[in-house]
Amino acid sequence: MAKVVIISGSPTPTSRLHGVIDHAKAQLEQSGIQTEWIKVRDIPAEDLMYAKFDSEAIVKVNAAVAGADAVFVATPVYKASYTGVLKALLDLLPQKGLEHKIVLPLAVGGTIAHMLAIDYALKPVLSSMGAQNILQGVYVLDKQVTWGGNGEAILDEEISARLQESVGQFIQEINWHTQKKGSPVT
């Protein structure tokens, strides 16, 4: 079974970002893909700030990413870039920690002016970590996510369709690569 690690760079316990991730996670799991969700905010701050590569939490994150077929990196946009807590975690992953991984970036921001944060801020870092298969990112405006009465995120029609299409492409790439890995060499 293919495995995806979801890394959420949101520093808050509940956010529109988490609501969007819930939708993507459900689609991944419905397709038979195992997911593990790493919320950077749950990692001890001291481990992140003091670069404790040998801490139990960081070792566990590194093992999860190493064992994954793909990584879904999600962040809110602050000051036209991804969050500092996400950067702190990415700095603690091995230099080539995303090598041979399929990567789907996602960002949620308050204005369309920050739409290129994925391409100009996040993708170069992911690429420097060995990721060669970085899919087209999904940028979501805050106003495209509202909250339902039961606390579930409701995505507007346009973003729901874009997210579903992007995650569908992510699933296709994952399935293709895992089938290819499982094929005998001829």
Task: Give the pLDDT confidence score for residue 185 in this predicted structure.
Answer: 45
Q: List Cα–Cα distances, 26 to 13, 23, 36, 79, 101, in angstroms.
A: 19, 5, 12, 30, 20
CATH number, domain containing residue 62: 3.40.50.360
Task: Give the pLDDT confidence score for residue 186 in this predicted structure.
Answer: 41
Nearest to 99 by CA among 169, 177, 37, 38: 177
Task: Give the pLDDT confidence score for residue 184 in this predicted structure.
Answer: 53
Full pLDDT tens readout for the chain, 186 residues? 899 999 999 999 889 999 999 999 999 999 999 999 999 999 999 999 999 999 999 999 999 999 999 999 999 999 999 999 999 999 999 999 999 999 999 999 999 999 999 999 999 999 999 999 999 999 999 999 999 999 899 999 999 999 999 999 999 999 999 888 775 544
Amino acid residing at 12? T
Task: Give the pLDDT confidence score for residue 181 in this predicted structure.
Answer: 77
How many Cα atoms are found within 13 Å in the side-chain-facing hemisphere of 103? 26
| 166: containing domain | 3-182
Q: What is the DSSP track for 11-72?
A: SSSS-HHHHHHHHHHHHHHHTT-EEEEEEGGGS-HHHHHTT-TTSHHHHHHHHHHHT-SEEE
pTM: 0.95
Please state the domain count of the chain: 1
